[in-house]
Chain A
């Protein structure tokens, strides 16, 4: 019997049920995300990179509604480009986060996306900003998305100040792996971006290379 309206996921809003994390280390930041995009019960894209560049050394992590998050990231990318041409310098991470916050706050009723902004600038080094619902706060690390609820305990217990880049990357990988194991809306592969003074490095860690825990 033919359904008149067709499958729901065809018309349902596409969400990035997600796990995203960003942490600051001495000299830079590391961002991480999973890669699952769902529309209702269906996975629409299993390899989406949710770490979106806002500038050479500033990235943001997307969560919530895919369309809203992608659009905010693109708008801020454009605004940051104009801003950096105007000041004739690389923009500060705080500027990028403020631009994201301004959009999130002004349209908070209509939008449902949360972006974590992280990057490196010459003035304050590595910084991580959370912009949930229109606030702007600098934190040593931030987690977001539906999978973050499952790993708050882990990050709170395991985070230490002054880790180096490799330890941070491992910490991010562990967090993502744990969250993807527990959260139905997170999964796929892990994307990691490490930003420091010298370089911006993007990496993909495939499913079978993710760290495993007691039950695997």
Chain B
């Protein structure tokens, strides 16, 4: 039977190939200041409730001081029963989750089973550990499988924490305050959604790198409900976005026609094969 990691067969043991490359790169830059990867400044949170898991995220992606994307999707699909929020370097979280999703789909097709959340966590941890923190992805994985409702976080260096509620990203300290205050085991669905919404809202209010809308994803045994956006920002702009003007708005004062003097320099004929 084919292994689940078909796209990338891991070599046994620890792989430190990139460590040598990285220290060589550091030497190339003046003053040892390697370019820093762009981070999306984010608030993401997750809560385990009675019937499943609720994940939440803001939708702002920043590029230094400018908001690059107001409606960026930070909750990524992994499997029908597993979703993943990503904080850290946008490209890394995107690619890592796509790779994980592909591997798990292949596993599902091979074995005929739904993947378990712990399997997704193990594959992620394997990969992130092997890259020694060079992949800047902090991920919150939540899902429901035959063994129950699970919420895990995987750090960029490959450490795994299994907890009933958590928040990550630059706005996480604000969100964590709300979660610590409001979390109880076995919450009802509506209460859990409100709690996650409040947590993301706190992150948006207190952190410059988080903002705009709030996305929520509810995962239960019945399936996943990705509500995007769950709540829109009250600070929406009313730009028309259409800047076409009807002809005649600007009056024509003078008109001058100058024919271009062109001569034929070269003429070639290519036969077209119409047989």
* A interface residues with partner B (beta carbon < 8 Å): 1-2, 4-7, 10-11, 13-14, 37, 39, 42, 44-45, 47-48, 65-67, 70-71, 107, 110
Contact = CB atoms under 8 A, between A and B. Distances in A.
Contacts of B88: 10-11
A47 B157 contact: no
B29 interface: no
Contacts of A44: 155, 161
B231 interface: no
Contacts of B16: 110
A11 B136 contact: yes
Nearest to A69: B159
B36 interface: yes
A186 B219 CA distance: 35
Nearest to A39: B155
A47 B161 CA distance: 9
Given A2-B64, A10-B138, A42 B173 contact: yes
A39 B125 CA distance: 17
A10 B87 contact: yes
Contact of B39 (A6, A39, A42, A71): A6
B209 interface: yes
B86 interface: no
B205 interface: no
7 contacts: A6-B209, A11-B156, A13-B157, A37-B159, A47-B163, A67-B155, A71-B125
Contacts of B155: 14, 39, 44, 66-67
Contact of B160 (A2, A5, A70, A110): A70
Contacts of A6: 39, 41, 170, 209
Contact of B209 (A2, A37, A42): A2
A42 B177 CA distance: 13
Contacts of A14: 155, 157, 159
B253 to A, nearest CB: 47
Residue from A39, A45, A47, A67 having most chain B Cβ neighbours under 10 A? A67
Nearest to A45: B161
Contacts of A107: 14
Contacts of B128: 67
A152 to B, nearest CB: 28
B208 interface: yes
Interface in B126-165: 128-129, 133, 136, 138, 155-161, 163
